Structure 1
Amino acid sequence: MITTVLDPAGARPMYLQLYRFIRSEIESGRLPSHEKLPSRRKLAAHLKVSLATVGTAYAQLAAEGYVRAEPKRGYYVQPFAAHAFAGGRPAPPAASRKRRDPSKRPEFDFQTNVVDTNLFPYAIWARLARKTLSEGGEELLNAADPQGDPALRGEIARYLHDFRGINAHPEQVVVGAGSEYLLGLLIQILGRRKIYAMEDPGYPKNRRIYMGNDAEIIPVPLDGQGLSDSELRKTEAEIVHITPSHQFPLGMVMPVSRRISLLQWAREREGRYVLEDDYDSEFRFVGRPIPALQGLDPEKVIYTNSFTRSLAPSLRISYLVLPASLLEIYREKYLFYSCPVPNFEQNTLFRFMSQGYFESHLNRMRNAYKERRDQLVAAVMNSRLGGSVDVIGSDAGLHLLFRVNNGMNEKQLVSSAGAAGVRVYGAGEFSAGRAVNCPESTVVIGYSGFPAQNIAPAVERLERAWTG
């Protein structure tokens, strides 16, 4: 519907005001070619003007060739009009123009933040969603519990106990729309004046979230076991943010001895906490699953995870498990925050988990990703790259690293691969600039969203780029 404000007391007649407005919409492209204009009666009722006003404006537009009148059908924008004017459609904002041109995207991209959506259980999810709609009633339309649906929180607590060794009451679980939202909330609970230690190299988005909340962050280098506890002790940090199940991006699994050392650090001073980011923990391919750090000390560990990797990125459901002391602060000061996840999605996920589909889905994904990982590693090892590439971090998670011993540095590896149409990511790209122990000549390879049929041709491109 065309909407504008017409001034009855204006210097120009209202039909002329309307004519000029519609002409401007056509010239700018906001009314595209072949768009049907509202009927005279509907537009007159919408704008609260007479039929004569609309009819006269339409007649003038038709006379000048901006629209055409079709008997018994109405008025339509002429096909040439939307692009035939010097002004044309307004240029997009500068921020939009900075987005990557789709035509310049590499043919093969080993990005780390995607999953294989073909593995999503569409049929099961659709059936449960329909059941949620048919049985949910008006509860689905009401505001969600600020902390998240109690039934879903209970199911998350059960899953964490059974599969991650976490002892948490459903009341300790806070559901939110994505890890970004929950990390921002957690910074408010803990306090922006706290000093936060982060793995370096580490996940860049988390670093940006801390900075966006004006929190002070200290990058702490890694050693062979993960974040260095000796380097941490040299800082004034009060919170340490780690990915112990599969460090991002270097891929190591933190051993129990280092976990205990970090817990000891947290216990030495009141107000210290370990933030355990358990992303990718569902995907361990070698050996038995390692229980979460939270199970060793529920009062000193804040646990967070998401369904982004295990289900789909668009399912923006993540969760925190808060220690009792922080839960009290949250409920006292921040319970007024509405839960940003709709009841419909929460209830559907609850059904998916409580009926056993989630565990079955994880098993299917683990098998599929393990097969894809094996296919990728075999393709590299059986190529001319096999003698010069060390594969690191393949025991768990959905990415691995290639350390390439061909005389090229990281920048050269990334650049030459890009020239061959393959996007890989240098390990140093994930550093805050102080990663003294970041491996040299090493690239990060995400494979979870990489089509299996593209592995062989992509490796052939890398072979040519890195061996000549």
Structure 2
Amino acid sequence: MIFIKINTNNQKKFIYQQIYTEIRKLILNKKLLTDEKLPSKRKLAEELGVSINSVSNAYEQLLAEGYIYTIERKGYYVEKITKFENPNECSKQMDFPPDLREKHTEDKSAWLSLSHMTADITMFPFKEWMKCEKMAIKNHGKELSEIAHPQGPYLVRQTISRLIARSRGVVCEPEQVIIGPGTQPLIRQLMSMQKQNTKVAMENPGYFRFYQLLENMNFRVTPIPLDEQGINVEKVEALNPNFLFITPSHQFPTGNIMPISRRIEILNWVVNAHDAYIVEDDYDSEFKYGTDNIPSLQSLDRNQRVIYAGTFSKTMLPSFRISYLVLPIKLLREYKRHYSSWIQGSNSLNLFTLHYFIETGEYAKHIKRMNHHYENKRKQLIQKLRFRFKQDITIQDIPAGLHFLAEFQTNKTYKEIEAKAKEEKLEIYSFTRFMLKEIPAYENKIMLILGFATIREEDIREAVERLYRVIY
């Protein structure tokens, strides 16, 4: 006979769960010994005043987890359980470290955002996207039930290769396209194939997430300063890195567009360098206002030395998690050798939906619509900033992308600016965030990266007023 308590009025736990929990506790506390026979299901059910099914379910769960064993026609017995080495420590509830404790997401409904990292969800054609999703489900049931090709479905890679050939002049075959759930994981894959003594260089200021990623992978990463035309070629040649990360079509974060002469200089360097590659991060080149898009650096490459990185996070939604690399032939061969058993990380349904979204012309319509929409918001924001701040603001007015660089005359420090912005419920990012090494000290001025993707047109005036209070 075993003594356990069952509460038949407990609506949070089923009867069988209570029986299971109580018997498990008796076994772990050695109140039931190894090889001790348990009461029959019928007998225990009578003692507890419950159904035989409840006891049977409890015994089956204990059996499945290894707490008991059964001998045919004899019954159930207690299994030999390995002891915990530090029972007192194990039984004590762990005190969770305060530095790892996450705060609940703050209600930001009263905030206004001038972030460079967002996209405008209000303009996305969800109805058309869902139509394309239905087409994907109807036509690709078999592919959706299987693990996709490590590089992504061939059909989708073919569609992407045609798209970037038309819009960016990228020269590639579908086999060269690698799809992934973000540019960061794709760069991690790419760099994981490289030797540890690989030298890496990046623009400074530049994309800090890449810098941190590569540093954490133990690569030697050298930030290289910019001049008015882009990355300093002389310093690149002096360092002679194996991988050079740049954003020629819309430098991040300054917004500068690299002119053709500098592009040719960079390509001449990489051709003459030994075993060197350029990673062209073309993160928001679809948005160009007033003139046609600037052709990609990869389109000028005739020696298979440029790795093209693109994403749909800016043109559609960041949450879709669809990015891609275009690898030169030599690196593609290496990729296939390293990642032949890789499980594709992007959502296959989203990928096939993207295929139809592009092929039906909806993507092109969306880009055209968003270019017009973003251009209007950009003009309004710049106009209101100049009107409010007058001679105290200098804007790098380069008509491209979803952000611009603005310099303000102020006596406040960056730390004070950030604290005041939080108080004003205004999301902004300072230039210091993108300085990879030394942060220059500017007297009586600060620089901000101002994005305009998610700010509503009717909120622009209020955002500028809040920014004025932040600066002064």
Tell me which interval the TM-score lies in, with the shorter structure as reference length: 0.7 to 0.9
Among 352, 371, 375, the residue aligned to 1:370: 375
CA separation of 1:40/1:345 partners in 2, compared to 1, >3 Å: closer, same or farther?
Answer: farther
Aligned to 2:264: 260
1:93 shift after superposition: 5.4
SS at match of 1:402: strand
Q: Within 2, Cα distance between the matches of 1:370 and 1:219? A: 32
Among 22, 31, 43, the residue aligned to 1:11: 31
CA separation of 1:99/1:217 partners in 2, compared to 1, >3 Å: closer, same or farther?
Answer: farther
CA separation of 1:335/1:355 partners in 2, compared to 1, >3 Å: closer, same or farther?
Answer: same
Q: Within 2, Cα distance between the matches of 1:40 and 1:400? A: 71
8 Å CA contact 1:220–1:228 kept in 2: the answer is: yes
Q: Within 1, Cα distance between the matches of 2:98 and 2:51? A: 38
Equivalent positions of 1:317-336 (< 5 A) are 317-336=322-341
CA separation of 1:138/1:97 partners in 2, compared to 1, >3 Å: closer, same or farther?
Answer: same
CA separation of 1:14/1:177 partners in 2, compared to 1, >3 Å: closer, same or farther?
Answer: farther
Q: Within 2, Cα distance between the matches of 1:369 and 1:305? A: 20
CA separation of 1:367/1:96 partners in 2, compared to 1, >3 Å: closer, same or farther?
Answer: farther
SS at match of 2:345: coil
CA separation of 1:11/1:411 partners in 2, compared to 1, >3 Å: closer, same or farther?
Answer: closer
1:402 aligns with 2:413: no
8 Å CA contact 1:250–1:427 kept in 2: the answer is: no
Aligned residues between the structures: 405
CA separation of 1:104/1:178 partners in 2, compared to 1, >3 Å: closer, same or farther?
Answer: closer
Aligned to 2:287: 283
Aligned to 1:347: 352
SS at match of 1:375: helix
1:201 aligns with 2:205: yes
Q: Within 2, Cα distance between the matches of 1:244 and 1:397? A: 12
Among 225, 231, 246, the residue aligned to 1:242: 246
TM-score (norm 1): 0.79
Q: Within 2, Cα distance between the matches of 1:218 and 1:404? A: 29
Q: Within 1, Cα distance between the matches of 2:128 and 2:306? A: 35
CA separation of 1:362/1:104 partners in 2, compared to 1, >3 Å: closer, same or farther?
Answer: closer
Q: Within 2, Cα distance between the matches of 1:207 and 1:42? A: 60
1:312 aligns with 2:322: no
Aligned to 2:175: 171
Aligned to 2:233: 229
Aligned to 2:59: 48
Aligned to 1:215: 219
Q: Within 2, Cα distance between the matches of 1:395 and 1:11? A: 76
8 Å CA contact 2:242–2:275 kept in 1: the answer is: yes
Q: Within 2, Cα distance between the matches of 1:340 and 1:446? A: 29
Aligned to 2:145: 141
1:171 shift after superposition: 1.0
Aligned to 2:362: 357
1:463 shift after superposition: 2.3
Q: Within 2, Cα distance between the matches of 1:226 and 1:174? A: 28
Amino acid paired to 2:31: A
- Gaps of at least 5 residues in structure 2 are 1-12, 40-49, 62-92
Q: Within 1, Cα distance between the matches of 2:51 and 2:434? A: 59
1:430 shift after superposition: 1.2
8 Å CA contact 2:204–2:224 kept in 1: the answer is: yes
8 Å CA contact 2:150–2:339 kept in 1: the answer is: no
TM-score (norm 2): 0.78
RMSD: 2.9
Q: Within 2, Cα distance between the matches of 1:160 and 1:119? A: 23
Among 443, 447, 469, the residue aligned to 1:442: 447
Which structure has the larger Rg?
2
Aligned to 2:136: 132
1:119 aligns with 2:123: yes
8 Å CA contact 2:256–2:398 kept in 1: the answer is: no
1:231 shift after superposition: 2.0
